[in-house]
């Protein structure tokens, strides 16, 4: 059965093939899964699993969920999202790297 282009993550506002690939690389490969998880959790997963992930990704993810341009999200929702992110990271620290294994 052919895939409906509207069902692809890269069809969401602010997200393209690279964002979709980064999300898929951490197990977020459907819009439904992304919506259920939310922008902050998705951002943390991508940030921890990929390289060169900046705050624009958080703005883009939130904008994808709310159909808002990422720059508007950064300006109008940035402080609120940063507080949520800070609390989430505090409650869910990354796993410790064993001393005998080098950091990536």
Residue with tokens 């991508």: 46
Q: What angle do CA 41, 2, 24 make, to 5 degrees?
A: 20
Question: Is residue 59 within 8 Å of 35, Cβ to Cβ?
Answer: no
Task: Give Cβ neighbours of residue 86 (< 8 Å, ≥ 6 apart).
Answer: none
Write the CATH number for 76.
1.10.150.20
What global pTM score does this model have?
0.87
Cα–Cα distance between 8 and 79 in angstroms, integer?
29
Kindly report the three-state secondary structure assignment for every residue of the chain.
CCCCHHHCHHHCCCCCHHHHHHHHHCCCCCHHHHHHHCHHHHHHHHHHHCCCCCHHHHHHHHHHHHCCCHHHHHHHHHHHHHHHHHHHHHHCCCCCCCCCCCCC
Residue 67: inside a domain: yes
Kindly give the confidence (pLDDT) of every residue in the chain, 104 residues in length, as a single tens digit, with 9 standing for 90 and above.
555 666 789 999 999 999 999 999 999 999 999 999 999 999 999 999 999 999 999 999 999 999 999 999 999 999 999 999 999 999 999 888 777 766 65
Residue 98: inside a domain: no
- How many other β-carbons are positioned within 10 Å of the β-carbon of residue 10? 15
- What residue numbers bound the domain in which 82 lies? 5-91
Number of domains in the chain: 1
């Amino acid at each position: 059965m052919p895939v409906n282009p509207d069902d692809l993550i890269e069809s969401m506002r602010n997200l393209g093939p690279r964002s979709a690939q980064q999300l898929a690389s951490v197990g977020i490969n459907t819009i439904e899964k992304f919506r259920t998880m939310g922008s902050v959790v998705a951002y943390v997963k991508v940030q921890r699993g990929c390289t060169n992930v900046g705050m624009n990704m958080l703005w883009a993810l939130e904008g994808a969920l709310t159909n808002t341009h990422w720059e508007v999200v950064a300006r109008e929702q940035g402080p609120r999202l940063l507080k949520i992110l800070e609390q989430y990271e505090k409650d869910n620290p990354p796993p410790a790297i064993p001393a005998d294994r080098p950091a990536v």
